[in-house]
Structure 1
Amino acid sequence: MPTFRIASPEDADAHAVLVDYFTLRAAEFPGGGYSPTYPTAAAFQAPDGAFLLLEDEGAIVGCGGIRRVGMPGGETDVFEIKHVFLRPETRGRGWGRLLLDELERRARGFGAAALVLDTHHTLEAAGHLYRNSGFVEIPRYNENPNATRWYRKELESRA
């Protein structure tokens, strides 16, 4: 069973898996033109965020992060899920759900009332995972040029 490690996205291990992620996305992106944005450590520091590496038998097999984001209407208790990635050879083992659940658990620990994320419609497995995890499609909330779908999940009822 894989384990999680908190890391700065600028650490060597994190950077290496992000390079693999962005390289794969660029190769698969329809029509080319994928614009990678490497995350900074400042955006993923507790209590406003965390960046996780997923390790299996000493190898980094994936990553993902959460960060607090400002939303229209002034919401301050919303966290965005970013850079969820599993190396292709590890997919189909349920580790994407494991990673998503851990990111949600940590966001709840930071006081999140909702999670948001963006993705591209061609990432069908990711979209399926998000929908099956309680995310619902919402209107665009950011200007990510690589995204075509935006999702939100409420973590607690609002009075």
Structure 2
Amino acid sequence: MLTFHRLGTDTPDSHTLLMEYFGERAVGFEDGDYVVTLPDPARFIPPAGSFIVLAEDDTLLGCGGVRALSPTRFEIKHVYLRPATRGRGLGRTLLNRLEEEARALGATELVLDTNATLAAAGGLYRSSGYVEIEPYNSNPNANHWYGKTLTD
């Protein structure tokens, strides 16, 4: 049974998944110059944000978070699924839950950044209603930025 757990980014389960995510990104990054920036735990605690761990029974599957950039504009961060879980539609399940979390925190707009090397992620975002926008940050790992207006 799939379950979502709202955890801090500094809990053992969250930390395990985030380290896997950063490790996978560093290996697959086009120039080998991936910059790891650990999330500030305070930015992922309501009402500033939320961090979600997806599990099935007692097995960790993935994670992701949302954090406020303004009272109504939130950013999606660190969406990750373990390789063995991919291809099951769980990315969309996790993204939908992150959107729900953001709405509950007052978001009317979501933004995110990604890299072209994450082709499946880009496809997920586009098929979920995200459109390319101008860069809103200076993330050295990003080369694509997306936004979506949330509706009820």
- Hey, what's the Cα distance between the residues in 1 that align with 2:50 and 2:31? 32
* Cα offset, 1:156, TM superposition: 3.5
Alignment of 1:60-71 (within 5 A): 60-70=60-70
Normalising by structure 2, we get a TM-score of: 0.97
- What is the aligned residue count? 152
- Hey, what's the Cα distance between the residues in 1 that align with 2:151 and 2:60? 32
Query: Which residue does the alignment assign to 2:125?
Result: 130
Query: Which residue does the alignment assign to 1:141?
Result: 136
Query: Which residue does the alignment assign to 1:5?
Result: 5
Give yes or no for the alignment of 1:154 onto 2:149: yes
Normalising by structure 1, we get a TM-score of: 0.93
Give yes or no for the alignment of 1:108 onto 2:107: no
4+ residue runs over 6 A deviation: none
Identical residues among aligned pairs (%): 51
Larger mean Cα displacement after TM superposition, 35-44 or 128-137: 35-44
- Hey, what's the Cα distance between the residues in 1 that align with 2:10 and 2:32? 26
Secondary structure of the residue that 1:96 maps to in structure 2? helix
Stretches of structure 2 lacking an aligned partner (at least 5 in a row): none
Stretches of structure 1 lacking an aligned partner (at least 5 in a row): 71-75
